Amino acid sequence: MTHHPSTEIPVSSLQSDAADGFTQPSIRGRAIAAILFDLDGTLIETDDQAVERLAGRLKPVRRFLPDRDTTRAARRLIMHNHDFLNRWLVRLDRLGLDRGIIGLATRLGLLDDRSNRVSVMPVAGTVELVTRLAGRYKLAIVSTRAEAELRAYIDHQGLTGCFQAIVGSDSTNRIKPHPEPVLRALALLNVAAGQAVMVGDTTVDIEAARAAGVLAIGVLCGFGEPKDFGNADLVLESTADLAALL
């Protein structure tokens, strides 16, 4: 996981109302009934795995790298490429070309082919977080992975039954940053946009949430950096920090 300086959370935007012994939190005056999670970099430690794989591939050219540090070079490359891809996805989505570009990039090896790989490392504390929240909120995963991959991860982590909605890249006609995946999750949960929050580690997640009218929480445990979350309602160091808020 990438560590960043502590990010201040605007506590004034958090409220709670007690009812029947249960404290119902609200964010920016909105009572929260549903939580939508991205997967990569939000619930699983995608970035460190990608860095490790790329660092291994860079070993033959180590002598040409600054300080011969393959890990540092790999992280810089991935962060640069991820930010570049996110920015272009926003633009390409407007032309309806985002799906084709992602498929082409995967075939060319510019993006990781994640098919049939579910043995991944959860972000620390997120399995416990999901288990705890499932008894109080409606939960969904909204990801650019295929729906089958998402269900495989949920089963692998023993979280079957915790999520009432699973929305993957093949669940809708458009993918994030278009709001359609978020709106699809809300429809499956039967929850209004004003009662939901989206949690993700990239600008794509924040853009999709804002476009759908959903509150957005950025997390720094994935690819995103503090500067990426200017439009988020809250920014947390880790997804697991939600436990203290909800």
Q: Does this model's pTM top 0.85?
A: no
pLDDT in tens, 160-182: 999 999 999 889 988 888 899 99
Burial 100-113, CB ≥16 within 10 A → b, else e: ebbeeeeeeeebbe
Do both 143 and 57 map to the same domain? no
Q: Are 218 and 205 in contact (CB under 8 A)?
A: yes
Judged on CB neighbours under 10 Å (0-12, 13-18, 19+), 22 is: exposed
Q: How many domains does the chain have?
A: 2
Q: Is 161 in the same domain as 41?
A: yes
- 145 with 216, same domain: the answer is yes
Q: Is residue 55 part of a domain?
A: yes
Query: Is residue 39 assigned to a domain?
Result: yes
CATH number at residue 33: 3.40.50.1000
Q: What is the pLDDT of residue 120?
A: 77
| Two tokens, residue 193 | 């946009």
- Whether residue 186 lies inside any domain: the answer is yes
Domain residue limits at 80: 46-107
Bridge-based pairing of strands 234-236 and 14-19 is unpaired
Q: What is the pLDDT of residues 82-119, one digit of tens each?
A: 556 555 655 665 666 555 555 555 544 444 444 444 45
CA 214 to chain centre: 14
**CB-CB neighbours of 43 under 10 Å:** 31
Same domain, 187 and 158: yes
Same domain, 56 and 176: no
Q: Which of 107, 129, 153 is the last residue of a domain?
A: 107
Q: How far is the C-alpha of 126 from the C-alpha of 240, rounded, in Å?
A: 5
